[in-house]
Structure 1
Amino acid sequence: METTATLSALATGFGAGLSLIVAIGAQNAFVLRQGLRREHLAPIVAVCVASDALLIAAGVAGVGALIQAAPLALVIVRWAGAAFLLAYAFFAARRALKPSGLSAAATSSRSTLAATVGTAVALTWLNPHVYLDTVVLLGSLAADHGEQGRWPFAWGAIAGSTLWFSLLGFGARYLAPVFARPGAWRVLDGAIALLMLALAAFLVMP
């Protein structure tokens, strides 16, 4: 009976984690673009997976209650995140005006590892919704499984995150023939710019 409950919590966590992470957002758009460029991909996927794992574990450990009790912290993160998204939207729009093919994009404008990892960290940790989704929501769902089931739930959610970012990043290479054309990069970067603008506006809306 205990094994069945553990497997149930694990499967529920896996499904809940995927359902929240798969939603289109700034972090996913960045991982997709890096996957297409094949630029510092392993560190980017590692940052995203490790960040989600830390946040999920924090939620299961009970940090979600502290975040709910400190609304000012979320306000600060919200405005900082909006400012970062606006800057990222600007650079994406500028790239859309001067598109390049996949090979050129991967060589001529290659970013440093530190800058790329820094962007991934900012897109993850400056998004207040990531705290609400992983720490508060997943933490609350894990608590419903009791003391014995909450950590299997957490491991399931972490496994879902790991699977998603691995597929999104390393699977993007199969779209390479499409993005060999500059026009495809124009569409992608234009869409990313609009997405970042929309997310920034959404963050600051009352």
Structure 2
Amino acid sequence: MFDLSSLLQGFILGLGVFLCPGPKDVLILREALAGRPSMLLIGIGVGSDAALIALGILGLSAALSQAPSWQAAALWLGIGLLLVHGAKALRNALSPSSAPHPGPAPALSTGLRPLLLNSLLNPAAWMDTVLVIGTVGAALAPGARAGFATGAVAASLLWFCALVAGAGRVRRHMASPRTMRLLDAGVALAMLGMAAYLAWAQWQAASP
């Protein structure tokens, strides 16, 4: 039986973290407007959050804090990933021929790899789930951790359901090549901006 207070604590902290959109959220919004199946997008968003939250609570957050070199390596890997996919999104935003036209939903295999990679390896997602939610959850009593994790995952589910449902309501009016190029510009801005911020923070931390 879950402890209600720990469940509410996880839910409130999760909402506070997830309601600030990051690169993954912008990418999921783009895929929803492009006609990707809603349940698939929600499953990827919530499933990746649940996996990272579990890893953090099970001790990955503590392990990374004790191994700064590994933490830095993981962060630079994530920065590289953000730069690559941010550059691709910028290329799409600047190239009219690359913007999808309204029509049937894209094939399931098309474009899923960037979404999966950014859901699981995005350093912003790691900071939110592993290092923030995971650290708080790991500090709780063992009996309270399951309820806390459930509350945090419930917040993720609520957020992605609202995001994808909202995109579905406006898709008919917004799924145009111009809108998709604007969304690609938003994806590029989010990813490249996050990469620049993290790289600057790492440089500042390494400076004497």
TM-score w.r.t. length of structure 1: 0.82
Determine which of 162, 168, 190 is the counterpart of 1:167.
162
Q: Distance in 1 between matches of 2:169 and 2:5?
A: 34
The answer as to 2:176 corresponding to 1:176 is no
Q: Following superposition of structure 1 onto structure 2, how do residues 31-180 of structure 1 map, counting pairs within 5 Å?
A: 31-99=28-96, 104-106=101-103, 110=106, 112-180=107-175
Report the residue type matching 2:29 in the other structure.
L
Report the residue type matching 1:192 in the other structure.
V
Distance 1:84 1:8, change over 3 A: same
Determine which of 169, 186, 206 is the counterpart of 1:191.
186
The answer as to 2:196 corresponding to 1:201 is yes
In the TM superposition, residue 98 of structure 1 has moved relative to its aligned partner by 3.6
Q: Distance in 2 between matches of 1:131 and 1:153?
A: 18
Q: Is the 8 A contact 2:35 2:104 kept in 1?
A: no
In the TM superposition, residue 107 of structure 1 has moved relative to its aligned partner by 5.2
Give 3-state SS (helix, strand or coil) of 1:176's partner.
helix
In the TM superposition, residue 155 of structure 1 has moved relative to its aligned partner by 0.6
Q: Distance in 2 between matches of 1:149 and 1:30?
A: 33
Q: Which runs of 5+ in 1 are unaligned?
A: none
Runs of 4+ deviating beyond 4 Å? 105-108
User: Which residue does the alignment assign to 1:28?
Assistant: 25
Q: Is the 8 A contact 1:44 1:116 kept in 2?
A: no
Q: Distance in 2 between matches of 1:149 and 1:120?
A: 32
Shifted more, 76-85 versus 13-22: the winner is 76-85
Q: Which runs of 5+ in 2 are unaligned?
A: 204-208
TM-score w.r.t. length of structure 2: 0.82
In the TM superposition, residue 88 of structure 1 has moved relative to its aligned partner by 1.8
Q: Is the 8 A contact 2:79 2:199 kept in 1?
A: yes
User: Which residue does the alignment assign to 1:10?
Assistant: 7
Q: Is the 8 A contact 2:79 2:123 kept in 1?
A: no
Give 3-state SS (helix, strand or coil) of 2:36's partner.
coil
Report the residue type matching 1:38 in the other structure.
G
Q: Distance in 2 between matches of 1:74 and 1:121?
A: 21
Identity within the alignment, %: 34
Q: Distance in 2 between matches of 1:121 and 1:182?
A: 24
Shifted more, 113-122 versus 192-201: the winner is 113-122
Q: Is the 8 A contact 2:50 2:153 kept in 1?
A: yes
In the TM superposition, residue 11 of structure 1 has moved relative to its aligned partner by 1.1
